[in-house]
């Protein structure tokens, strides 16, 4: 009762002891943690992809619900369109869309986590809880919205099938994932394909697939160079889409890195994923279909490494898939202290770099994560957060550099595809 009162008056202060409360595995404590994380999402300035979503949200008032959903269906934004339309119709700010996306994503994650941790002791629960908090990308969920929520939907769909043998929920969450971002249908196809193949592969064959996927990633630059010349001669719209998703946002041969700093950012953010792969490769039961599924999906991720826009999505799914696989086998796996330390530290680095990198890119527009609105949320009671919203002009002014960068990117893409 006291804890709930403290949360209502100041959710940020509650968080100072909230993780300990959540480790008791009670529904109420998870609910409060989800609300707190949703407030964090609420505070994040909509920049870049978030600004693009904001513009769509602002147009909702000019459509009927049916018309807006039809538009969303064509763009693969059905779930976003529904949430945005409802919130817009109530006259609420765009930040409530961010709030709802974070709320849905973490509610689903924690509902599965709570069931998986029923037989795990409290000390271990705290470790796992921090692991999940570090690796679920809250900035991506609040700003990019669609692909992160779609990833969470699909990971939970697989969890329903593999951990709880509930195929109806597998279908439900897979469909919702696809309606949130169409790339999830791509994941569904390959998950079903890999699940079928894994039953036919022996342990030695899995090792061969892993080896050749790493080797294939080194020859991809040659493949991409060939693709670039083919795309140049293609249809304008199709070519632009291929240039964006296969060859990178600038339409040229994929540039994973444009500076040493960006290279280090990408490298260190892969370490939790690499640790999970190495752990399951060495200690995982490669006769177990679930372990084989994870290793094969990881192989596919690395084989797509040079198609960076796709790799970011598939790689992130593989990371969360591996985390849930580890948690679901927690009482049976022998995760020694050095492995725990490596996974914890690398996950914390992943979490920190998400914030540092976002802070760095929004600083182009003289923005910061710790702005007046964010501090307003930190200091306010839960029921007064509406006074901490960003204004329309403020969002526009805060994305001027992004709009210039986007125009330059489109120009380079047009040059590559010859339009």
Regarding pTM above 0.85, the answer is: yes
Question: 80, 106, 86: which is closest to 180 by C-alpha?
Answer: 80
Task: For the beta carbon of residue 65, count every other beta carbon within 10 angstroms.
Answer: 13
Q: What is the pLDDT of residues 44-101, one digit of tens each?
A: 999 989 999 999 999 998 999 999 999 988 888 899 999 999 999 999 999 999 999 9
What pLDDT is recorded for position 262? Answer: 63
* Token pair for 405: 């960068």
Query: Residue 167 falls within a domain, yes or no?
Result: no
How many angstroms separate the most distant Cα atoms in the chain? Answer: 67
User: How many whole angstroms from its chain centre is CA 75?
Assistant: 19
φ, ψ at 137 (rounded to 5°): -75, 95
Q: Do 414 and 373 fall within a single domain?
A: yes
Q: Identify the three-state secondary structure at position 165.
A: coil
What pLDDT is recorded for position 285? Answer: 81
What pLDDT is recorded for position 372? Answer: 87
Q: What is the pLDDT of residues 180-193, one digit of tens each?
A: 999 899 999 999 99
DSSP E strands, 25-77 = none
Domain count, the chain: 2
Query: Residue 405 falls within a domain, yes or no?
Result: yes
DSSP code for 23 = T
Task: For the beta carbon of residue 192, count every other beta carbon within 10 angstroms.
Answer: 11
- Contact between residue 284 and residue 291 where contact means Cβ atoms under 8 Å apart: yes
What pLDDT is recorded for position 181? Answer: 93
Q: What is the pLDDT of residues 318-343, one digit of tens each?
A: 999 999 999 998 888 778 889 999 99
| CA torsion through residues 203, 204, 209, 214, sign | positive
What pLDDT is recorded for position 249? Answer: 43
What pLDDT is recorded for position 8? Answer: 87
CB-based burial of residue 171 (10 Å sphere; 0-12 exposed, 13-18 middle, 19+ buried)?
middle
Q: What is the arithmetic mean of pLDDT over 4-30?
A: 89
DSSP code for 335 = -
CB-based burial of residue 411 (10 Å sphere; 0-12 exposed, 13-18 middle, 19+ buried)?
exposed
Query: Residue 343 falls within a domain, yes or no?
Result: yes
Residue ranges of alpha helices (H) inside 181-307 are: 183-198, 203-232, 236-245, 260-269, 271-283, 289-303
Q: Identify the three-state secondary structure at position 254.
A: coil
Give CA–CA dist 228/54, Å, rounded.
Answer: 32
Q: Do 345 and 358 fall within a single domain?
A: yes
Q: Identify the three-state secondary structure at position 241.
A: helix
Q: What is the pLDDT of residues 89-131, one digit of tens each?
A: 999 999 999 999 999 999 999 999 999 999 888 889 999 999 9
Give CA–CA dist 396/64, Å, rounded.
Answer: 25
Q: What is the arithmetic mean of pLDDT over 307-315?
A: 79
Terminal CA-to-CA distance of the chain, rounded, Å? 64
What domain range includes position 382?
A: 369-418
Q: Is the pLDDT of residue 410 over 80?
A: no
What pLDDT is recorded for position 256? Answer: 43
Query: Residue 357 falls within a domain, yes or no?
Result: yes
Give CA–CA dist 276/258, Å, rounded.
Answer: 27
Q: Do 395 and 411 fall within a single domain?
A: yes
Residue ranges of alpha helices (H) inside 284-336 are: 289-303, 308-328
Q: Is the pLDDT of residue 215 over 80?
A: no
Q: Do 360 and 373 fall within a single domain?
A: no
Q: What is the pLDDT of residues 133-164, one digit of tens each?
A: 999 999 999 999 999 999 999 999 999 999 99
Q: Is the pLDDT of residue 300 over 90?
A: no
What pLDDT is recorded for position 207? Answer: 81
Query: Residue 233 falls within a domain, yes or no?
Result: no
Q: What is the pLDDT of residues 345-368, one digit of tens each?
A: 999 999 999 999 899 888 888 888
What pLDDT is recorded for position 243? Answer: 58
Give CA–CA dist 119/238, Å, rounded.
Answer: 51
Query: Residue 108 falls within a domain, yes or no?
Result: no
What b/e sequence results for 197-218 when a residue is b if at least 16 CB atoms lie within 10 Å of its CB, and e otherwise?
Answer: bbeebeeeebeebbeebeebbe
Confidence of residue 33 (pLDDT cuts 50, 70, 90): very high
CB-based burial of residue 149 (10 Å sphere; 0-12 exposed, 13-18 middle, 19+ buried)?
buried
Query: Residue 394 falls within a domain, yes or no?
Result: yes
Confidence of residue 383 (pLDDT cuts 50, 70, 90): confident
CB-based burial of residue 318 (10 Å sphere; 0-12 exposed, 13-18 middle, 19+ buried)?
buried
Query: Residue 48 falls within a domain, yes or no?
Result: no
Give the contacts of 319 (CB within 8 A, at least 6 positions apart): 135, 272, 273, 276
Question: 311, 313, 270, 318: which is closest to 293 by C-alpha?
Answer: 318
Q: Do 376 and 413 fall within a single domain?
A: yes
What pLDDT is recorded for position 65? Answer: 93
What pLDDT is recorded for position 310? Answer: 77
Residues 23, 29, 32, CA angle at the centre, nearest 5°? Answer: 135
What pLDDT is recorded for position 365? Answer: 81
Q: What is the pLDDT of residues 223-279, one digit of tens each?
A: 766 766 666 565 555 555 565 555 554 434 344 444 556 667 777 888 999 999 999
Confidence of residue 19 (pLDDT cuts 50, 70, 90): confident
């Amino acid at each position: 009762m006291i804890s709930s009162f403290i949360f209502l008056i100041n959710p940020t202060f509650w968080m100072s002891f909230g993780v300990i409360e959540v480790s008791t595995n009670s529904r109420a404590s998870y609910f409060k943690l989800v609300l707190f994380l949703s407030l964090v999402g609420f505070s994040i300035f909509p920049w870049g992809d978030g600004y693009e979503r904001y513009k769509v949200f602002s147009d909702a008032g000019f459509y009927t619900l049916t018309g807006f959903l039809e538009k969303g269906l064509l763009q693969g934004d059905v779930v976003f369109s529904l949430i945005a339309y409802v919130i817009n119709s109530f006259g609420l700010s765009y930040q409530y869309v961010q709030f709802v996306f974070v709320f849905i994503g973490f509610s689903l994650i924690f509902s599965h986590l709570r069931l998986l941790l029923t037989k795990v002791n409290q000390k271990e629960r705290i470790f796992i809880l921090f692991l999940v908090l570090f690796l679920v990308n809250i900035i991506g969920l609040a700003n990019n919205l669609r692909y992160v929520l779609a990833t969470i939907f699909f990971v939970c769909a697989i969890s329903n099938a593999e951990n709880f043998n509930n195929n109806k929920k597998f279908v439900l969450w897979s469909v919702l994932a696809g309606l949130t971002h169409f790339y999830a249908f791509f994941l569904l196809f390959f998950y079903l394909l890999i699940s079928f193949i894994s039953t036919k592969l022996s342990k030695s064959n899995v090792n061969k697939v892993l080896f050749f996927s790493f080797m294939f990633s080194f020859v991809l630059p040659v493949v991409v160079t060939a693709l670039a010349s083919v795309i140049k001669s293609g249809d304008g719209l199709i070519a632009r889409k291929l240039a964006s998703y296969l060859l990178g946002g600038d339409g040229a041969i994929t540039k994973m890195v444009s500076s040493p700093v960006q290279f280090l950012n990408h490298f260190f953010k892969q370490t939790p994923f690499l640790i999970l792969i190495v752990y399951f490769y060495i200690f995982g039961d490669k006769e177990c279909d679930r372990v084989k599924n994870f290793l094969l999906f990881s192989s596919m991720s690395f084989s797509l490494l040079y198609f960076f826009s796709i790799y970011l999505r598939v790689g992130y799914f593989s990371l969360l898939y591996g985390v849930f696989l580890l948690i679901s086998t927690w009482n049976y796996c022998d995760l020694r202290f050095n492995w725990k330390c490596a996974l914890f530290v690398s996950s914390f680095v992943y979490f920190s770099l998400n914030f540092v990198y976002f802070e760095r890119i929004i600083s182009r527009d003289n923005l910061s994560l710790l702005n007046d609105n964010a501090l307003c949320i930190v200091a306010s009671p839960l029921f007064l957060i509406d006074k901490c919203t960003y204004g329309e002009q403020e969002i526009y002014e805060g994305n001027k550099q992004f709009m210039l960068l986007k125009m330059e990117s489109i120009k380079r893409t047009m040059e590559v595809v010859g339009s």
